[in-house]
Every structure is written in structure tokens, then in C-alpha cells.
């Protein structure tokens, strides 16, 4: 069996799971790459739903107040899960690994890059949270550049009281489902939206939102970084994306290479071919830069 050109490690965003990448991995694999995914701790197959979610009749008040079963999941657990996957990817690809994170997954890929910079050819943020040292995701979400974000309107209950940021992806309320689609899946069909929403878990541990970024120029800053800007994004608006890019460039030094997708927050569903093409182009650019440095 031949060694892949490189290995992509693909990290999903909040409330999502590894199925986010189901349209991307076959394209990458067909082009000779390995593509590794996982359910982060507390997500997908590792998620535990509140008991109240299954009560019939459904009790909105109970759902909004029940403590989260995944409140104890830490950012460090998520970081180490991805570090392990990066190491596996490196063993498959001769050390050529590109780490990709979507949305809230950006916090995890930042932490991983800080820990294992020597294992990465590049790090890629897909409409991801990329923030300077000391800043948590929550602080960025509350910044004025994020004021047009629709996703906070989905939050159910008091995150501090329940230990998680909760959404109700299975809600039958028409207004809530419309907001869910507009937030994450504005440019996908109704049937695709229904399928995607059915995959979402309801609780994201507060640890991921409250853990401050720990990136440094000496480690994170040595890895070429890319940001895929999603221009129709209503979960992380373009103004917020650009603010994060500017903040990190100033704090870390160097320049984030940017790419553009005319898409919503979920181009892995609406623009899989375009997204895959950008990822493959990033690989080619990274390889060329690595070769130039070696000469």
C-alpha cells in the first residue's frame, strides 16, 4: 500500500460530529490523501443527552434547567484526543499532516498546534475560532464584530447553571428550526438540513468556551496557518472572522494566508468540491514552502 501524499486531520465544530466531513473525505482520498476524523470527547458518539430530552410530553422548562451530563468534559481531553490522531496521521503519511478545524473546533486545533508544532505541515481554520493567547471563545463570541451572529439565539437555558451551552436541534418549533438553518446551513436544501440537524448533539461543555487560548509565537507561530473565510456565514460572521485573523497576526507575528468560499457556515455540505480544492491547494502550497526552506 502506497504512502498518502499527506494526511488531513479534520476536527468538527460545536454540536457537530465526525459526519460533518462525510462529503470531504472521499474527495481527499480519491486524490491520494489520507483523511482522519473523530468524534471529540462529549460529541457525536461520545455525547450524552439530558434525560429531559426524551421526556414525552416534552417539558421545555426541565430541558432548560437539567444539568448537562457532559459538563465535566475538558478542553484538555479534546486536545489530547486530537494530538493522538495527529500522531497516527503522521505515522501514515511520513510526517506530512495538515490539521483542519471548523468553528469551535478552532480552539482545539490551536491547542494541538501549540503542543505538537513539529508534526504539522499547516493548520487550517474553516470559519474557526482563532484567538490570541489569553482569550477564550466566549470573549470572542461577545465581541462587537460578532454582533450579527444568529447562533446565540439558539441557546437554551443558563449555560452557567447547566454547565454547557445547549441547543435543541430536534425542536419542532418552526421559528427555532428556521433560525437553526439560517445559523449553520443557510445554503443547503431542506432535506440536507433535516439530515444534518438530526446528527447534532445538544450540549457543548462550557470548558471549551471558557478555556483561554495558549498559543505562542515560539510554537504555534512556527506552523503555517490558513483561514478559510466563509462569506455568507451567519454563525461566525465575516467581520468576526477578519477580526480574529487580524488579532492573531498582530499577536503571533507572520501572516495568516486567507482563502474565500462563498458559502454559509457549513461548506462541507454546500460546497464540498470547492472546500476540498482549497484544502488540496493548501497542501501544495505548504509542500512548496517546505521544499524552499530545505534548500
Number of domains in the chain: 1
pLDDT of 8: 98
pLDDT averaged over every residue in the chain: 96
pLDDT-wise least confident of 74-78, 207-211, 233-237: 207-211
- pLDDT exceeds 70 at position 231: yes
- Cβ-Cβ contacts under 8 Å for 278 (sequence gap 6 or more): 228, 259, 261
pLDDT digits (tens, 9 = 90+) for 234-252: 999 999 999 999 999 999 9
pLDDT of 1: 53
For the chain, how big is the Rg over CA atoms in Å? 18
pLDDT of 295: 66
- Report yes or no on 1 lying in a domain: no
Provide the phi-psi class of 15: left if phi over 0, else alpha when psi is between -120 and 50, else beta. Answer: left
Owning domain of residue 12: 7-294
Cell reading at 241: 472572522
- Report yes or no on 104 lying in a domain: yes
pLDDT digits (tens, 9 = 90+) for 5-45: 999 999 999 999 999 999 999 999 999 999 999 999 999 99
- Report yes or no on 228 lying in a domain: yes
CA 29 from chain centre, in angstroms, equals 21
pLDDT digits (tens, 9 = 90+) for 253-285: 999 999 999 999 999 999 999 999 999 999 999
Cβ neighbours, 10 Å, residue 294: 6
pLDDT of 255: 97
pLDDT of 56: 94
Q: Kindly report the CATH number assigned to the domain that includes residue 209.
A: 3.40.50.1820
Compute the average pLDDT of residues 158-183. 97
Between helix 105-115 and helix 75-93 the angle, nearest 10°, is 60
- Report yes or no on 77 lying in a domain: yes
Compute the average pLDDT of residues 116-141. 97
- Report yes or no on 29 lying in a domain: yes
Rounded CA separation 154/221 (Å): 34
pTM over 0.85: yes
Identify the band that residue 290 occupies on the pLDDT scale cut at 50, 70 and 90: confident
CA 52 from chain centre, in angstroms, equals 27
pLDDT of 218: 98
Percent of the chain surpassing pLDDT 70: 99
pLDDT of 280: 98
Amino acid at each position: 500500500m502506497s504512502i498518502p501524499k499527506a494526511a488531513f486531520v479534520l476536527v468538527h465544530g460545536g454540536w457537530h460530529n465526525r459526519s460533518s466531513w462525510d462529503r470531504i473525505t472521499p474527495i481527499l482520498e480519491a486524490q491520494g490523501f489520507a483523511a482522519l476524523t473523530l468524534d471529540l470527547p462529549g460529541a457525536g458518539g461520545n455525547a450524552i443527552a439530558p434525560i429531559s430530552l426524551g421526556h414525552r410530553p416534552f417539558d421545555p422548562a426541565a430541558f432548560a434547567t437539567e444539568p448537562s451530563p457532559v459538563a465535566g468534559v475538558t478542553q484538555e481531553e479534546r486536545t489530547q484526543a486530537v494530538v493522538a490522531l495527529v500522531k497516527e496521521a503522521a505515522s501514515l503519511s511520513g510526517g506530512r499532516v495538515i490539521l483542519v478545524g471548523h468553528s469551535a473546533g478552532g480552539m482545539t486545533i490551536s491547542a494541538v498546534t501549540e503542543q505538537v508544532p513539529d508534526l504539522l505541515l499547516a493548520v487550517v481554520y474553516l470559519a474557526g475560532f482563532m484567538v490570541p493567547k489569553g482569550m477564550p471563545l466566549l470573549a470572542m463570541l461577545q465581541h462587537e464584530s460578532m454582533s450579527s451572529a444568529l447562533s446565540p439565539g439558539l441557546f437554551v437555558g443558563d449555560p452557567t447553571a447547566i454547565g454547557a451551552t445547549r441547543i435543541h436541534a430536534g425542536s419542532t418549533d418552526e421559528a427555532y428550526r428556521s433560525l437553526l438553518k439560517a445559523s449553520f446551513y443557510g445554503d443547503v436544501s431542506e432535506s440536507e438540513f433535516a439530515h444534518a440537524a438530526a446528527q447534532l448533539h445538544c450540549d457543548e461543555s462550557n470548558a471549551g468556551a471558557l478555556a483561554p487560548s495558549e498559543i505562542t509565537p515560539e510554537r504555534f507561530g512556527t506552523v503555517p496557518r490558513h483561514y478559510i473565510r466563509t462569506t455568507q456565514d451567519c454563525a461566525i460572521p465575516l467581520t468576526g472572522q477578519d477580526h480574529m485573523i487580524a488579532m492573531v497576526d498582530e499577536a503571533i507575528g507572520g501572516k495568516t494566508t486567507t482563502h474565500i468560499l462563498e458559502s454559509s457556515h457549513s461548506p462541507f455540505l454546500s460546497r464540498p468540491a470547492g472546500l476540498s480544492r482549497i484544502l488540496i491547494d493548501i497542501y501544495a502550497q505548504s509542500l512548496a514552502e517546505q521544499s524552499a526552506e530545505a534548500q
